[in-house]
Amino acid sequence: MSHRETIEQLYAAFARGDIPSVLGALNPQTRWTEAEGFPYGGTYVGPQAVLDNVFMRLGGEWDSFSAQMAELVADGDTVVALGTYSGTFKATGKSFQAPFVHVWKFTDGQISEFIQHTDTAVVQRALS
């Protein structure tokens, strides 16, 4: 399977709520970076850290959070996804929609790095 196909399947799994499949695509030392200013901003290493610090919080703090991928650009061991986030923050009842760019890097056929880029100011408005 190509890197592009792996990422396509990863977004499909996320949309289904199949987090084990998403985490299964990560290598044990994957560096996962959420943008500074995003509610979970920082770098987490390994699938368990991503589950605890990102996915569990998304599931617990948001209604209908989604990351809808619209386009993929692949070159060698890098895949770039362009898309849109949306969701409603439970604590405030406020919704948002913001564009994202995700950079996925592969090493030895597994995802070794994820870097998020998004308009964090739009997300922050939903939090307050």
pTM, two decimals, is 0.94
> Which domain does 40 fall in, by range?
3-127
Q: Three-state SS for 121?
A: helix
For position 35, which CATH number holds? 3.10.450.50
Quick one: pLDDT band at residue 54, thresholds 50, 70, 90? very high
pLDDT at 116: 98
Q: What is the pLDDT of residues 96-121, one digit of tens each?
A: 999 999 999 999 999 999 999 999 99
Q: What is the pLDDT of residues 4-37, one digit of tens each?
A: 999 999 999 999 999 999 999 999 999 999 999 9
Query: How many CB atoms neighbour CB 67 within 10 A?
Result: 18
Domain count, the chain: 1
CA quadruple 30, 85, 124, 20: dihedral, nearest 10: -40
